[in-house]
Amino acid sequence: MPTQEATTTVLVTHYATTGPADALERYLSTRRACLVVVQHGFGPAAGDGTTVRVWRGGELRRTRRFAWDARVPGPMTWVKDALLSVAAPFWAGGRVDEYIGVDSLNAAAGLALRRVGLVRRVVFWTIDYAPRRFGSRSLNRLYLWLDRLCVERCSETWNLSPRMEDGRRQRGVVGAQRVVPMGATARDPRAPLSPHRLVHMGSLLEKQGVQVAIRALPLVRAHVADASLLVIGGGPYRPVLEVLTRELGLADAVEFAGYVDDHEMVEDLIAESGVALATYDPSLVDFTYFADPGKIKTYLAAGVPVVATDVPWSAGWLASEGAGVIVDYEPEDVARGVLSLLGNADARTAAARLGALSDWSRVFDHAFGGTR
């Protein structure tokens, strides 16, 4: 059992499925005397309203759900979220030592609580950041104003990548910022059961670049006849990818597994594969450029080397450490990268090493150990 601090912490986040906040909750639940987690619905999950969980002494003591109609206009949902966020000290039973807000709306609620003396320290954890976050100018101005407010007034800002701070500095926004990157749950390395299988995990959107991997597969199969591709995840671009697969005569070589709810099964499928793919389309870059995509850390945690385009900042990191290669967004170069990693034991060893370094426990030990 980890050492438990006599600290009261509040973690407030918006959620769609799972993510970094879930990992932080697991980490803090056994390390804080009291942990209050406030999870607001986001996007399709907005109909789930808000869930509040209270942990004490490493045990979940209370869960309360506040239902919400997803058809209610967005601004009313934001007001509901803010009211439930500022009620966090009530759930904690008094003054809060540490308030962690994931995104600017949640962090701003922590600033309001600090102003009235109910919170001592506020951390703003930026999961997604982009100077042009929304198509609406008014929404984007509001987003950037809130981001500036939180960076300049919170006790500390955690960024998933160094590019977030660089992007803010170009806008003249400065504050106490440092990198707390995406992590994953590291696992013991294993020999791949399907060493010639490529794997892609994630939502199927055009920007993810699965299409270039499909176009590269015939070039790979010209050298490795049984090479195949496993696509894990669902999304609106799947029909386009399925049509492309049939047009290229690859129906027997490409498997669309759809969304897999069991994350442990996903990790097994990745670990059994030979090469993982993060072939983002550079022409469709949005906040991925500033972020630290979770799929790359999941690949590394499974000990699988990665073929990546030079879009996320972690692409350069894994390539410099020998755990993958950076390729151009062209079928020929993707095929070259794949062939360089298939059966490459050194690359697989390097991937497992980086995966161990990216384990969530290490990420959070560093984050809280280095608290200013």
For position 371, what pLDDT does the model report?
46
pLDDT at 304 over 70: yes
Q: Which residues contact 315 (CB under 8 A, 6 or more apart)?
A: 278, 296, 306, 308, 309, 324, 326
pLDDT at 325 over 60: yes
- In the chain, the percentage of residues whose pLDDT exceeds 70 is 94
What pLDDT, in 10s, does the model give residues 59-68?
A: 999 999 988 7
- In the chain, the percentage of residues whose pLDDT exceeds 90 is 77
Angstrom distance (rounded) from CA 216 to CA 236? 22
What pLDDT, in 10s, does the model give residues 90-122?
A: 999 999 999 999 999 999 999 999 999 999 999
Sign of CA dihedral 354, 356, 360, 365: negative
What pLDDT, in 10s, does the model give residues 128-137?
A: 888 887 778 8
Which of residues 222 and 17 earns the better pLDDT score? 222
Q: If DSSP codes are grouped into helix, strand and coil, which group holds residue 69?
A: coil
DSSP state of 78: H
For position 372, what pLDDT does the model report?
38
Confidence band for 18, pLDDT divided at 50, 70 and 90: low
What pLDDT, in 10s, does the model give residues 147-177?
A: 999 999 999 999 999 999 999 999 999 999 9
pLDDT at 143 over 60: yes
pLDDT at 70 over 90: no
What would the mean pLDDT of 299-327 be, rounded to a whole number? 96
What pLDDT, in 10s, does the model give residues 217-269?
A: 999 999 999 999 999 999 999 999 999 999 999 999 999 999 998 988 999 99
Which of residues 69 and 226 earns the better pLDDT score? 226
| Apex 18 CA angle, 13 and 24, nearest 5 | 60
Report whether 235 contacts 206 (CB < 8 A): no
Q: How far is CA 12 from the centre of its chain?
A: 16
Angstrom distance (rounded) from CA 372 to CA 138? 34
Cα 60 to Cα 16, 19, 25, 54: the distances in Å are 22, 19, 11, 6
Superfamily for the 5-180 domain? Glycogen Phosphorylase B; (3.40.50.2000)
Q: What's the helix, strand, coil split of the chain in %, to 5?
A: 45, 25, 30
**5-180 and 194-357, same CATH topology:** yes
What would the mean pLDDT of 75-99 be, rounded to a whole number? 89
For position 43, what pLDDT does the model report?
61
- Domain locations in the chain as residue ranges: 5-180, 194-357
Confidence band for 17, pLDDT divided at 50, 70 and 90: low
Angstrom distance (rounded) from CA 12 to CA 161? 21
For position 302, what pLDDT does the model report?
95
For position 168, what pLDDT does the model report?
93
DSSP state of 44: G
What pLDDT, in 10s, does the model give residues 330-344?
A: 999 999 999 999 999
CATH 3.40.50.2000 is the classification of domain 194-357:
yes
